[in-house]
Amino acid sequence: MKDPRLQLKNPVVAAFLAFAIPGAGHWYQGRRFKATIYSVCILTIFVWGMILGGGQPVYSQLLLRSDGPAPTAQLQASPLRMKFSFGYVAQVIVGAPAWPALIQEMRMRNVEAKINWIDAPIESDFQGMLSRGFGGRTSEIVSGTINLLPANENGSSVVTGTLHALLADGTNQELPLTGEIQLGREVFGSPRREIRCEVLGHDEDEHEVRFELEGTVGRSFINWFQAPRDTLELDRLNGQLSQKFDIGSVFTWIAGLLNLMAIWDAAQGPAYGYGDEDENPDDEEPDDAKKTT
Amino acid sequence: MQLASAIYALPLSAGISLVYCASRFELPGKIVRSAVLMFAKTIAALVAFYLVLLYLSG
């Protein structure tokens, strides 16, 4: 219902602006009060959902691991199968705040996965497991900081460096790294990047042995934010955040769906009218009718 | 824990009410009055629904 008092300017431009940034279309039309309501409410719900979900509820593609030796999609070198995330249909309507997912999807498709290669030093915190012994194999939890270096300057499949490890018994050890590296994909929807290599150590008889080291190092924000992820990462998120991840996801869906109403309002005006119309015009009888009865 | 999660419904309902009513009307006063009414009705319905579930699970 259009009211002559409404100045929608160019409705197509307003609708696009409303889609790009909640409230921007109404600001362009000079409807500042509604612009403020839309931007504050919609963006607050969206950001709140992102915070509840650990910054990870928005992603456009779910990765499916192909059959093969790779334990996770992060460590799979061959092209990954992707499945569209239907929740993203609602999230993308919130506009620019959800667009990085599309960029990350393109990056995921175009950046070559170098799983068995390290081309630059990596210094990060480390969380993982150290497998000790060969026959009666045991593992222990290790954390600390790790300095990974390629075996030569131009990159290598062999890693050197050091793990400053805090072992489960509370002792600190400096463990030299060696062996062929497996490094998770550069672009992936997880703040943690998987890594596997070997650690040089000594057994009880002071013989040099190699222990398997597997765990995760940090991944830069720009490489994980809104990037596609696999079900293992979703399991990790659900385990870590419990229902907060689901609530956060629902909040981001709701924010997108609310912006749909804002886009419609920017293009067509308010659904019920200006707001000062008589709510029940049929209830009042005309004066002539009152006189005759 | 269940009740703590329900607290999320308050600001969420307020936000939804404001956006919904803003998309229905143009006048600020009418938007705010409608949103307050819608928010109150939503919370009342949620509380009633919660009480029914509480009764059934008791």
For residue A67, what are the CA distances in angstroms to A81, A105, A228? 11, 22, 19
Domain assignment present for residue A14? The answer is yes
Distance separating alpha carbons of residues A277 and A274, to the nearest angstrom: 7
A-chain CB neighbours of B5 within 8 Å are 243, 247
- DSSP element (H, E) containing A144: strand A138-150
If asked whether residues A95 and A235 sit together in one domain, one would say: yes
Q: Give the per-residue pLDDT at A283.
A: 55
Tens of pLDDT along A167-207?
888 889 899 999 999 999 999 999 999 999 999 877 778 88
CB of A115 closer than 8 Å to CB of A76: yes
Structure tokens at A150: 């390629």
If asked whether residues A35 and A53 sit together in one domain, one would say: yes
Domain assignment present for residue A54? The answer is yes
Contacts of residue A237, Cβ cutoff 8 Å, sequence gap at least 6: A53, A54, A56, A245
Structure tokens at A194: 């998987």
Asked whether residue A293 carries a pLDDT value surpassing 60, the answer given is: no
Asked whether residue A286 carries a pLDDT value surpassing 70, the answer given is: no
Listed by start position, the domains of chain B span 7-57
Distance separating alpha carbons of residues A157 and A115, to the nearest angstrom: 9
If asked whether residues A29 and A173 sit together in one domain, one would say: no
If asked whether residues A197 and A231 sit together in one domain, one would say: no
B-chain CB neighbours of A243 within 8 Å are 5
Q: Tell if the pTM clears 0.90, that is, is over it.
A: no
If asked whether residues A141 and A93 sit together in one domain, one would say: no
If asked whether residues A213 and A231 sit together in one domain, one would say: no
Helices (H), chain A: 11-20, 24-29, 32-52, 87-91, 100-110, 221-224, 231-241, 243-268, 287-292
**Mean pLDDT across the stretch A4-31?**
94
Domain assignment present for residue A279? The answer is no
If asked whether residues A133 and A200 sit together in one domain, one would say: yes
Number of domains forming the structure of chain A: 2
The structure tokens 């960029």 sit at: A103
Interface ipTM above 0.90: yes
Task: Tell me the Ramachandran region of residue A77: left when phi exceeds 0, alpha when psi lies from -120 to 50, beta otherwise.
Answer: alpha
pLDDT band at A280 (very low <50, low <70, confident <90, very high): low
**Residue A161, beta-bridge partner list:** A148
Contacts of residue A32, Cβ cutoff 8 Å, sequence gap at least 6: A26
For residue A20, what are the CA distances in angstroms to A17, A35, A115, A256? 5, 13, 36, 11
Domain assignment present for residue A282? The answer is no
For residue A65, which of A230, A223, A249, A188 has the smallest C-alpha distance?
A230
If asked whether residues A5 and A98 sit together in one domain, one would say: yes
If asked whether residues A218 and A231 sit together in one domain, one would say: no
For residue A43, what are the CA distances in angstroms to A17, A88, A94? 14, 16, 8
Measure CB to CB from residue A41 to each of B19, B29, B30 and give the nearest one. Answer: B19
If asked whether residues A202 and A242 sit together in one domain, one would say: no
Instruction: Collect all residues from A whose CB is shorter than 8 A from any CB in B.
Output: 3, 5-6, 31, 33-34, 37-38, 41-42, 44-45, 48, 243, 247, 251, 254, 258, 261-262, 264-265, 269-276
The residue type found at A142 is V
Q: What is the dihedral of CA A202, A203, A205, A208, to 10 degrees?
A: -40
Domain assignment present for residue A278? The answer is no
Rg of the Cα trace of chain A? 28
User: Residue A110, Cβ neighbours under 10 Å: how many?
Assistant: 8
If asked whether residues A153 and A129 sit together in one domain, one would say: yes
User: Residue A10, Cβ neighbours under 10 Å: how many?
Assistant: 12
Contacts of residue A115, Cβ cutoff 8 Å, sequence gap at least 6: A70, A75, A76, A77, A182, A183, A184, A185
Which of A60-64, A211-215, A277-281, B17-21 bottoms out in mean pLDDT, i.e. has the lowest?
A277-281
If asked whether residues A14 and A105 sit together in one domain, one would say: yes
Q: Does B33 touch chain A (CB under 8 A)?
A: no
Q: Which domain holds residue A203?
A: 122-183+190-223
**Mean pLDDT across the stretch A20-40?**
97
Distance separating alpha carbons of residues A38 and A60, to the nearest angstrom: 24
